[in-house]
Amino acid sequence: MLKEISVKDEKKLREWLDERSQEIDPEVVAKAAEILNRVRKEGDAALVDLTQKFDGVTMQDFRVSEAEMDEAEAECDESFKEAMCLAAENIRTFHKAQLPQSYLLQQDNGIYLGERVIPLSSVGIYVPGGRAQYPSSVLMNAIPASVAGVKRIVMVTPPNKEGTINPNIAYAARLAGITEIYKVGGAQAIGALAYGTQSIPAVDKITGPGNIFVAAAKKLVFGKVDIDMIAGPSEILVIADEGADPSFVAADLLSQAEHDPLASAILLTTSRSLLEEVNQELEKQCAVLPKKEIAQASIRDYGRSIVCDSISECIDFTNAIAPEHLELCIGDPMAYLSGVQNAGSVFLGYYTCESIGDYFGGTNHVLPTNGTARFSSALGVDAFVKKSCFLHYSREAVIQYGHYIETMAEEEQLQAHANAVTVRLRNGK
């Protein structure tokens, strides 16, 4: 059952949700730093030792061969492959529309300026191993990078006990066009991507989720390379009117609750009777979930509900919370979409469950958590490009505007800056 709170509690709720993601334990940071330092100094030798220690596998060649990829693909279920192909097409189509454009502005007197959009040279994608297998995350990370024009896309993932990688992960990588894959995981994989080893050349950016040691390692190497984000526990906020189906709403809340006991599921509604029916559905649906203990803990500890006077009041509350996933389970969602300022991704209407975006619809499922949707965006093509400005002033333009530049530089007491203009005014030909 969702614990009911007041609409006036948005600040308290956001602070309470933020407490789920405290700073990473200093002991974890210290261990991650030790691993990174070993990889930086010892290279492949450290990877061999750490893979044996943490994964129980002795590896000499980390690179996944084409033959291994063929064997892995042969193990994949055909219906899964069909679904993945269609999902990849949808993801690629959506992200192609995001491509930013270079531009040139021309003015009088030989002045022109602009901006070039340049893809990153190389990107590393971390894919978790163990019991959690997320081939959809391979598509969500690799396809935007490919669309952006990144030439070298590398995937790292822990080996299983047999020294191979999960077939579904391998198939997703092939589908996304990744040809450079290494069987290495944990903080040591992040170190390899950031610093490079004898067999794994370094990259410019690292994306993808991982355990707490991976998160700590990503945080530590930021600055040497770029990273996507340090993701917190998942969250969903559903706004539902009296026309919403309570079984739909309950199912959608549970779709995030099953991720993690720390995941949050929040319902805002204008209908008290709907809230009561949703609570009944939550108990019924949760009881038969394979991960019911996780979902029950999430709903018990971080599930909340609020009865609001209007959909507009729901939207105002939502903007204060800035949820990762927002569902507008209302009759006319487009009428309210423009009012949503802070949300990682928005799902519109009674039938658009968050799961469609997680897997198939085309929008990205790598989203800002912990209220960071106030200032950050979903993973997309922009994350895999950089922008470089350019500027040209002719002699005539320097004569026309140079005294302004001298004045500004002198006011800041930077005489050499002013002099760079002055010598052109005096000595230009």
Please, are residues 150 and 384 in contact by the beta-carbon 8 Å criterion? Answer: yes
Read off the amino acid at residue 33.
A
Active site residues: 324-325
Gap between the terminal Cα atoms of the chain: 80
Phi-psi region of 110 (alpha: psi -120 to 50; beta: other; left: phi over 0): left
- Paired residues of 125 in beta bridges: 155, 207
Distances (CA, A) of 161 to 51, 129, 358: 11, 11, 29
Secondary structure of residue 20 in the 3-state scheme? coil
HSE, side-chain direction, 13 A CA sphere, residue 17 = 28
271 class by beta-carbon count within 10 Å (0-12 exposed, 13-18 middle, 19+ buried):
middle
Read off the amino acid at residue 277.
E
Locate 383 and state its tokens: 């994350």
The total of other beta-carbon atoms located within 10 Å of residue 102's CB is 12
- The full DSSP string for 285-300 is HHTT-TTHHHHHHHHH
